[in-house]
Amino acid sequence: MIEFLLLPALLGAQGAAQVAQDAQDAAPRAYTVRVEAADLVLEGEPWPVTVEVTAGEGFTELPLWALTRGALELDGRALGPRVEGLLVLEPGQRISATFDLADVFVGRAADLPPTARLVHAGGGGATEHTWLRRAETGIDFMALPVEQLAEYNVVLSTTSGFLWLEFWPDVAPNHVRNFLDLAYTGFYDGSRFHRVIPGFMIQGGRGGDGRPAPRKVKQEFSTRRHVAGVLSAARLGNDVDSANSEFFVMHKPTPHLDGQYTAYGALVASYPKSLDALERVVGAVDGNYKLLSELRRAAPIDPNHMFVQTAVNTPNPAQVIHKAIVVKTPRKR
């Protein structure tokens, strides 16, 4: 636990004055501030923000408000009052506080821009955050007109970060409806990416609670290419009309899938951190491949055997889709 001195409470007025004077004599009031927060903010979901302060080389006076919500400004609007008082930090001491700021967006959906800047008044620079509004309640995506489907995106909150997906209802409206409905009804919540092949794709979509997929979807092949980040429908063998809930996201371009599988969306290009999350999911099988290589040096093992393939392509640690959240497509900047 990080300890610090709360002047008025622990030292009394005279002692506080003396320590403050000693700190002033010993070194200038210098400290650095670091603010850590997810750059994607989802309406109705927690948004933890951590403020970390590190003292300089000498004793440092730190305003109490620097570790409260009052130190933070979102697009120039203070997020709380600035309380009075001082802390004295020892040289190099580090202290932090974490807040859930999800409530700052409540009731502001109509006037929020697509991005907002978060600033700490004590320094540390500004960070930019994208705010996504949750889809309305009571939507029947299976009956939604094609022209309205593009108004929605899905964010997969995973073990490795956010995968933010947009859709192509112009080429595969029924696959888009199916995915939106399954995400909206919680089908994917708690499910896993069960098959990951580096250089190819990551596959998921089995019901998180063991439910079977509610429907099959007929193929909607198009000229859309299977390049990195593209969302496509898995199916049963050569039955082109057997797509259900399972999907895959391309890790690398795979031309032989073009026109043979239904591509119906992609990771949002303006949010490159989705590609970072994709790489982390792929990296979860690196240890499996390393172990297989070591075992093959010690014994004859067929790397193409079904059981071997299943073992090496199952992520370890598990890559979980904690929640699939349907959001409104952001307004253009």
Q: What is the pLDDT along the chain (333 residues), one digit of tens a residue?
A: 333 333 333 334 444 444 444 444 444 448 999 999 999 999 999 999 999 999 999 899 999 999 999 999 998 889 999 999 999 999 999 999 999 999 887 766 556 677 889 999 988 778 899 989 999 999 999 999 999 999 999 999 999 999 999 999 999 999 999 999 999 999 999 999 999 999 999 999 998 788 899 999 999 999 999 999 999 999 999 999 999 999 999 999 999 999 999 999 999 999 999 999 999 999 999 999 899 888 888 888 888 888 889 999 999 999 999 999 999 998 764
d(CA 277, CA 154): 15
Q: For residue 66, count CB atoms less than 10 angstroms from its CB and return exposed for 0-12, middle for 13-18, buried for 19 or more.
A: buried
Cβ pair 92, 55 in contact under 8 A: yes
For residue 172, the 8-state DSSP code is -
Token representation of residue 290: 């390393």
Neighbours of 12 (CB within 10 A): 11
Token representation of residue 270: 């303006």
Residue 242 identity (one-letter amino acid): S
The per-residue pLDDT for 110 is 59
d(CA 324, CA 240): 26
The per-residue pLDDT for 30 is 83
d(CA 208, CA 191): 4
| pTM of the model as a whole | 0.86
Beta-carbon contacts of residue 226 (< 8 Å; ≥ 6 apart):
232, 250, 253, 254, 255, 257, 258, 261, 263
3-state SS, the chain, equals CCCCEEHHHHHHHHHHHHHHHHHHHHCCCCEEEEEEECCEEECCCCCEEEEEEEECCCCEEEEHHHHCHHHEEECCEECCCCCCCEEEECCCCEEEEEEECHHHHCCCCCCCCCEEEEEECCCCCEEEEEEECECCCCCCHHHCCHHHHCCEEEEEEECCEEEEEEECCCCCHHHHHHHHHHHHCCCCCCEECCEEECCCEEEECCCCCCCCCCCCECCCCCCCCCCCCEEEECCCCCCCCCECCCEEEECCCCHHHCCCCCEEEEECCCCCHHHHHHHHHHHCCHHHHHHHHHHHHHCCCCCCCHHHHHHHCCCCCCCEEEEEEEEECCCCC
Cβ pair 160, 281 in contact under 8 A: yes
3-state SS, 34-62, equals EEEECCEEECCCCCEEEEEEEECCCCEEE
Q: Where do we find the tokens 């000693």?
A: 22
Cβ pair 281, 196 in contact under 8 A: yes
